[in-house]
Amino acid sequence: SAVISQKPSRDICQRGTSLTIQCQVDSQVTMMFWYRQQPGQSLTLIATANQGSEATYESGFVIDKFPISRPNLTFSTLTVSNMSPEDSSIYLCSGCKGAHTEAFFGQGTRLTVV
Amino acid sequence: AQTVTQSQPEMSVQEAETVTLSCTYDTSESDYYLFWYKQPPSRQMILVIRQEAYKQQNATENRFSVNFQKAAKSFSLKISDSQLGDAAMYFCAYWSYNAGNMLTFGGGTRLMVKP
């Protein structure tokens, strides 16, 4: 397994601004993912963060709104751009070391847009 | 596409009693993995138990066990001797090699434990 440190744990942001969320893993992982979780709801996959190349986005999510970086095998960032109140949610990063036999998660970032 | 359904939005159990959380899934794959994750108020997703579809034996982890019915595409979680710390959201999840290397989550079940 591995430990993912995600920060910030929470933030309150003004609409129209951007927030970058960081995830640092304590060991190399093959794959990293970013999820959004509305309060009381399940997790929705935003994108797969690919090391050294553009992320792979799920339907309904676009790079201009959620740019993702993954410069190496232990670090990734998700930016929520031009935020609106509808972006208020919990954002989680996840990693796995190969075949998806176990995914481990960061602590999540609770974002509130006012 | 694979789907995962948890039909119980909320469940309640008395401390020390046993509770079963339901999960069904839909897939055309024969080789896949199923998981139960726990998410307490701290938001940290914690893996509770994992089941490989090719294994007929049900997985167990201490007080947690599953009833895996492959033909029925059912994967329920049984929590024995429930403790106050078991109170959390529980998510059933599916993964297969051909599913884009991503987890598909069910809608979740909120478990409340009464002292």
Q: What is the pLDDT of residue A111?
A: 97
Decide if A103 and B103 are in contact by the 8 Å CB cutoff. Answer: yes
CATH number of the B3-114 domain: 2.60.40.10
Residue A29 at interface with chain B, using a CB cutoff of 8 Å: no
Does 2.60.40.1940 match the CATH number of domain A4-113?
no
Q: Kindly tell me if the per-residue pLDDT of A2 is higher than 90.
A: no
The identity of residue B81, as a single letter, is D
Contact B87, B42 (CB under 8 A): no
Residue B35: what residue type? Answer: F
pLDDT band at A102 (very low <50, low <70, confident <90, very high): confident
Q: Which residues pair with B93 in a beta bridge?
A: B35, B105
Work out the minimum CA distance from A71 to partner chain B, whole angstroms: 20
The pLDDT of residue A67 is 97
Q: Is the peptide bond before A71 cis (omega within 30 degrees of 0)?
A: no
Give the Cβ contact number of residue A55 at 10 Å: 21
Residue A99 banded pLDDT, cuts 50, 70, 90: low
Q: Which of B42, B103, B107 sits opposite A100 (nearest CB)?
A: B103
**Cα separation of A9 and A112, whole Å?**
11
**Looking at residue A101, what is its pLDDT?**
64
CA distance B58 to B44: 26
Q: Express each pLDDT in A13-25 by its tens digit.
A: 999 999 999 999 9
Given a contact cutoff of 8 angstroms between Cβ atoms, the answer to whether A90 and A37 are in contact is yes
Structural domain boundaries in chain A: 4-113
Q: State pLDDT tens for residues A33-92.
A: 999 999 889 999 999 998 888 999 999 999 999 999 999 999 999 999 999 999 999 999
How close B106 gets to chain A, by Cα (Å)?
A: 7
CA distance A52 to A36: 23
Answer yes or no: is pLDDT of B79 > 80: yes
pLDDT 10s digits, B16-49: 999 999 999 999 888 899 999 999 988 889 999 9
- For chain A, positions 38-97, list CB contacts with chain B under 8 A: 40-43, 45, 48, 90, 92, 94
Comparing A17-26, A59-68, A95-104, B60-69, the range with the smallest average pLDDT is: A95-104
**Domain ranges within chain B, ordered by starting residue:** 3-114
Position A100 scores a pLDDT of 57
